[in-house]
Structure 1
Amino acid sequence: MSQYDEGHTVAGWTGFGIATVGVAVMGAGVCAGNALWVWGGLSVVVISVLITWVLHLAGWGKPPGRRPAAEWGMWVKDLTAREGHPGCVGCRLAGRGRLAELPVRVTAESGTGEPVTESAV
């Protein structure tokens, strides 16, 4: 098993299985010339993405990058998912794992704070 082990999770395999069914339905729709099957298969693929995302947020997905060997198993639940994974797009979309607040600089003119951006530093 690799050190990264990404995708070897309940969330990954569930999403893959559902997406495979969706793509098969889409392919059958293309072969049969049936637009309803194509759109139905596409909707199944979209549902698979949403189910994978929900499972990841519930702890059945893993964060990107290296993990200890004890966490490589597929049935090991990720207990850090609640706080969000650094660098994880799915966690960021859910509002988890946000970066620390930007420092605030108080201006003399107005007396109010404004975030310090990269260009102002």
Structure 2
Amino acid sequence: MSLYDEGHTIAGWTGFGIATAGGAVVGLGVCAASPAVAGGGLAVVAVSVLVTWVLHLSGWGKSPGVRDRGEWGMRVRDVRAREGHPGCVSCRLAGRGRRVSGMVPAESIPLSPIE
């Protein structure tokens, strides 16, 4: 089994289930030529994104990358979610955690003699 246990979380599976239902409703709306039904399905897909994000921030989603084997279980809540996961876009959007970047600030790079 891989050390990367991405997506095997309550947040991941809940979001997948809601998005799948929304995709089915969109397909039904397309087959029935009903813009209202297709739009409703797209709204359900948007709700799935929000539900997944909220569950991730509440600790039911895991951070990206390698985790200890004890944290692989789907019912294991992530206690580090409050501080934010390093490199996690969801946590950055919520204002949590530090931004992990390999970029060096422009002020610290010496200029060439021409510049």
**Do Structure 1 and Structure 2 share a fold, with TM-score over 0.5?**
yes
Q: What's the counterpart of residue 39 of structure 1? A: 39
Greater percentage in helix? 2
Whether 1:51 and 2:51 are equivalent positions in the alignment is yes
Tell me by how many angstroms 1:68 deviates: 0.4
- Which structure has the greater CA radius of gyration? 1
Whether 1:69 and 2:56 are equivalent positions in the alignment is no
Q: What's the counterpart of residue 60 of structure 1? A: 60
| Aligned residue pair count | 105
Which letter does structure 1 place at the counterpart of 2:51? Answer: I
Q: What's the counterpart of residue 82 of structure 1? A: 82
> Deviation digits for residues 76-103 of structure 1, max 9, x if unmatched?
0000000000000000000000249xxx
> Deviation digits for residues 11-30 of structure 1, max 9, x if unmatched?
00000000000000000000
Runs of 5+ unmatched residues, structure 1: 101-116
Q: CA RMSD in A?
A: 1.3
Q: What are the equivalent positions in structure 2 for 1:13-28 lying under 5 Å apart?
A: 13-28=13-28
Identity of aligned residues (%): 67
Q: Secondary structure at the match of 1:57?
A: helix
Higher relative contact order (CA 8 A, sep 6+): 2
Q: Distance in 2 between matches of 1:29 and 1:96?
A: 38
> Deviation digits for residues 46-90 of structure 1, max 9, x if unmatched?
000000000000000000000000000000000000000000000
Q: Secondary structure at the match of 1:98?
A: coil
Q: Distance in 2 between matches of 1:90 and 1:33?
A: 35
Structure 1's consecutive aligned runs of 4 or more residues displaced over 2 angstroms after TM superposition are none
Which letter does structure 2 place at the counterpart of 1:10? Answer: I
Provide TM-score, normalisation by structure 2: 0.88
Tell me by how many angstroms 1:118 deviates: 1.4
Q: Distance in 1 between matches of 2:26 and 2:52?
A: 20
Q: Distance in 2 between matches of 1:17 and 1:97?
A: 28
Tell me by how many angstroms 1:36 deviates: 0.4
Q: Secondary structure at the match of 1:80?
A: helix
